[in-house]
Amino acid sequence: MTDAMIRALAELPGLDARCSRTRRVPESGSDAVHEWHFLDTADELDRLGVSPVGTILAVHGNPTWSYLWRDVVSASLRAAEAGAPAWRVIAVDQLDMGFSTRTGSARPLARRVADLDDFTSALALTGPVVTLGHDWGGVISLGWAVEHPELLAGVIALNTAVHHPQGVPIPAPLRVAGLRGVLAASTVGTTAFLETTLALAHPPLRSDVKDAYRAPYRSAARRGGIGGFVADIPVDAGHPSFQALERIAAGVADLRVPALLLWGPADPIFSDRYLDDLVDRLPHADVHRFEGAGHLIAEDRPYADAVLSWLGEIAASEVRPIVAPATAGHPMSGGYTPLWAALDARRTDEDVAVLDMSTRGAPARRVTWRQLDDRVRGLAAGLAAIGVRKGQRVSVLVPPGPTLTAVVYACLRIGAVIVVADAGLGVRGLSRAVRGAWPDVVIGELPGLAAARALGWPGIRISVPRLPRAAARALGVTADLSSIAGAGAAAALPIEPEPDDPAAILFTSGSTGPAKGVAYTHRQLSALRDVLAAHFGVTADTGLVTGFAPFALLGPALGTRSATPDMDVSAPRTLTATSVAVAVRESDAQIVFLSPAAILNVVATADALTEQDRRALAGVRTFLSTGAPVGEPLLAAAAALMPNAVAHTPYGMTECLLVTDTTLDGIRAVASAADRGVCVGMPIGTNRVLISALDADGLATGITSDSAGVLGEVVISAPHLKASYDRLWLTDRGSVQGTPDGRWHRTGDVGHLDADGRLWIEGRLPHVLVTADGPLAPVGPEQRIEAADGVRRAAVVGVGPHRLRQAVAVVETIPDASAPGLASPELTTAVRGHCDVPLAAVLVVPRLPTDIRHNSKIDRTRVSRWAERTLAGGRMDRL
């Protein structure tokens, strides 16, 4: 390395030039000796007097160099200075790349793995070693890992691939770059390939960082390695590096060390297809998809923090045996009965099991227990016959009703993992969810199949209806449910899945960020059924009307008939009071499940009820508002339509659908209490609720406890609590951090427990206002404001700097405001008179924005941004 190069390295942003090293390394199998440039923290650790617990061997891809790993180099040294377990970091410049020697010879995959072995041998590297690779550096680092099991302690990969499926074209950017006549010009003769790669960052790279990546590649003579890497992509079985890649892929599947996969799903080169392949080979891996990140994930997201946190856990555990992913069990979990046990028990029963009223004017569909069981068994055996195996993912794009019920129970019966994402997420959100889960099979109606085709969703496609041959070909459909059920009619069912096998991935609403996949085991879903049956007294004769999608599938598991009213379940406000009454009458149901948004419209359309409708509703004995906490006025208005029913409003979330419960009478009993927020009652069954207190910065750092009156994050435990978040290791880790034993979940909700152990919800963590007087949760002040004349709904949000936030009330009025703006002096006075906290301003809007699934949770983050902009003199446009 020349003096000029050394000086250039010292000026690169973020690079600790103290760690820059060179070493002459003999090439195995030849007389050549090559100079390698690399970053190494060994001397700095020695200066600090710190002995490393192991080594991170970091390998870049194409067309980057060791500069890619500057953050993990710096972060590891900071951690060592802070007294954390120290890891030595060695980040190489591969030969012909970065500031290492230009060899002038071809370096196919096998040679590059051998090069890395030459380098580590020259350093006399000892274990434990954790490899870290990106792009083609991921393949090479994994190749080294496979060949050095005696040194290996773990593997980490960022957006890479070790296998490409036959018959699928390689990614378009690589295909174009590799074309004859284009390869040399785009990769060597010009900087096109380099610049295209640098443009993949999200957000865009700073200009000085781009210049740092360009530094080793200023001339065509120094860019030969970039072209060599592209030329070495094994496009088919005839490529010289194909067999080497196959050997590495097979070896990765045999690795039994801890693994971490960090992924940017917006990568046009290494898509989720390659992540899914790696997960199949490393099923024990911890996986985190950074939504919105792309190919240059090391630039897009704080990967170094994730790497060191993960390594800290390895160091703490010393030896971590590889087993099936742990489930979020519960210390008081009971026995296990599979979800389909009631179907088995009633398989010859001719009573109605499922009643579907949402048939757009056609007669209601009635399915008996015998018919449902036959359909489930036929589909289960048929799916198994076409190759759907235990553990494979099946995305179900079917609206609630008998067909969805049969498909779900068939998949569960054979151990396939159902993937359920609400159509209410919208096309973009739904596509992100489906692609993130990367299903093996997609089962859908025509709209879902058309979206799958247009948006390139993965998976074999199965149609609900039988399609004309041309339509099936156009949509990429290979089978239909009728054919599958027919094929399975005489086939044997496979062995049942085990209780702790994965069963489902249910996506959250997306109201608090991108929708997250929540993973459940069979045991946890069965525990949900059991707690629901026990708490609400569900029997075979109870009957359910379910206007809330998550509970629409539980009727068969509970052994009782279920009815879906005439509505669009992805748009709860389409449900009318008449539709509920008709469904109750037709099914003779005694329990009604509705979401808060559905209740709003049911109450608003109550005038259309006939005497016959009202008599039917009078037969309901239990009414549940599920999905979001509701206040006394709305619950009372709905209960008035079902005068003989006990009105419940359970509190839960996708991660744990039933946590606490209270009744209308229970809410009224505490109406005069001084507690802020919405009372959601006592924990159900063996569920437990604790609070992690907020500190002066509004962060839930307090030790979890059941002390009364403490404002903090709600932390829960239950037999039916989720197993994990799907491919969101960091999120999952955060959700259990600081909890008593890891079998808990941080909900992100803020509230407190009262002296009797009741839970009061006061908002979400991101919505807490950190004022000069300390943290302030929004729900309590909002409730007081909503008692003012002329106010329908209110949102209390913050404006101003952290720790000095000022509360602002944004309200919907009665009648509706014609446009957003400042409230009138009279309304401002009335609102301030009802609120018990100082308000910097009162604003009015025609409608407060809500979440996309429940249509009831106010999007306070969006409201806060609008209020801040408006009060700063910005245009008062719509929210």
Q: Are residues 430 and 301 in the same domain?
A: no
Give residue 790's domain range. Answer: 768-879
Q: Is residue 14 domain-shared with residue 155, that is, in the same domain?
A: yes
Q: Is residue 669 part of a domain?
A: no
CATH number at residue 377: 3.40.50.12780
Does 310 share its domain with 163?
yes
831, 788 Cβ separation under 8 angstroms = yes
| Residue that wins the pLDDT comparison between 639 and 327 | 639
pLDDT grade, residue 851 (50/70/90)? Answer: low
Determine, yes or no, domain membership for 456. yes
Comparison of pLDDT for 568 and 785, the residue scoring more: 785
Region 125-152 average pLDDT:
97
pLDDT at 328: 42
Owner of token pair 């007087």? 773
Q: How confident is residue 326, by pLDDT bands cut at 50, 70 and 90? A: very low
Q: Residue 827: which pLDDT band, with cuts at 50, 70 and 90?
A: very high
Q: Over 60: is that where the pLDDT of 330 sits? A: no
Which of 523, 538, 553 finishes a domain? 538
pLDDT digits (tens, 9 = 90+) for 650-680: 999 999 999 999 999 999 999 888 899 989 9
pLDDT at 721: 96
Please say whether the dihedral angle defined by the alpha carbons of residues 862, 866, 871 and 873, taken in this order, is positive or negative.
positive
Is residue 741 included in any domain, yes or no? no
Residue 118, Cβ neighbours under 10 Å: how many? Answer: 20
Question: 406 and 287 in one domain?
Answer: no
Q: How many domains does the chain have?
A: 3
100 has a pLDDT exceeding 60 = yes
- 231 and 370 share a domain? no
Predicted pLDDT of residue 626: 81
pTM over 0.85, yes/no: yes
Q: Could you report the per-residue pLDDT of 205-246, keeping only the tens digit for each?
A: 999 999 999 999 999 999 999 999 999 988 788 889 999 999
Residues 208 and 96 grouped into a single domain: yes
One domain for residues 158 and 300: yes
Q: For position 509, what pLDDT does the model report?
A: 77
Is 727 domain-assigned? Answer: no
Task: Give DSSP secondary structure letters for 513-534.
Answer: SS--EEEEEHHHHHHHHHHHHH
Arithmetic mean of pLDDT, 338-358: 93
Q: Is the pLDDT of residue 317 over 80?
A: no
pLDDT digits (tens, 9 = 90+) for 411-440: 999 999 999 987 777 788 888 888 899 999
Quick one: average pLDDT of 371-398?
95
Per the CB < 8 A criterion, the answer to whether 760 and 678 are in contact is: yes
Last residue of one domain, picked from the residues 538, 573, 597: 538
Question: How confident is the model at residue 570, as a pLDDT?
Answer: 66
pLDDT at 182: 63
Position 423 scores a pLDDT of: 73
- When pLDDT is averaged across residues 544-573 and rounded to a whole number, the result is 84
What torsion, rounded to 10 degrees, do the Cα atoms 230, 235, 241, 245 define? 110
> What CATH code is carried by the domain that includes residue 786?
3.30.300.30
Percentages of the chain per state (helix, strand, coil), in multiples of 5: 35, 20, 40
pLDDT digits (tens, 9 = 90+) for 24-66: 999 999 999 999 999 999 999 999 999 999 999 999 999 999 9
| Domain shared by 101 and 39, yes or no | yes
CB–CB of 583/357 below 8 Å?
A: yes
Most confident of 120-129, 319-328, 334-343: 120-129
Give the neighbor-by-neighbor strand order of the sheet with 821-822: 791-799, 806-813, 841-845, 821-822
Q: Is residue 853 part of a domain?
A: yes
Q: What is the CATH number of the domain that holds 254?
A: 3.40.50.1820
Q: Does the pLDDT value for residue 821 go beyond 50? A: yes
Boundary-marking domain end, from 538, 562, 585: 538
What is the reported pLDDT for 177? 59
Assigned domain for 649 exists: no
- The average pLDDT across 540-548 equals 89
The tens digit of pLDDT for each residue in 581-604 reads: 999 999 999 999 988 888 989 999
Taking alpha carbons only, the member of 430, 484, 424 closest to residue 455 is 430
- Asked whether the bond before 128 is cis by omega within 30 degrees of 0, the reply is yes
What number of residues does the chain have? Answer: 879
CA distance 122 to 95: 15
Asked if the structure places residue 678 within a domain, the reply is: no
Reply yes or no on whether the pLDDT at 264 is more than 60: yes
Average pLDDT of the chain is 91
Shared domain check, 442 and 293: no
| Residue 540 confidence (pLDDT) | 93
Whether 43 and 66 share a structural domain: yes
Nearest of 586, 572, 542 to residue 364 by alpha carbon: 586
Asked whether residue 72 falls in the same domain as residue 196, the answer is yes
CB 684 within 8 Å of CB 656? no
- Helix (H, G, I), strand (E, B), or coil: what is residue 324? coil
In a domain, 311, yes or no: yes
**What does the pLDDT read at residue 69?**
98
pLDDT score, position 428: 84
CA 807/CA 792 separation, integer angstroms = 19
* Lowest-confidence region among 162-166, 203-207, 364-368, 779-783: 162-166
Do 266 and 391 lie in a common domain? no
Identify the pLDDT of residue 600: 87
**pLDDT surpasses 60 at 320:** no
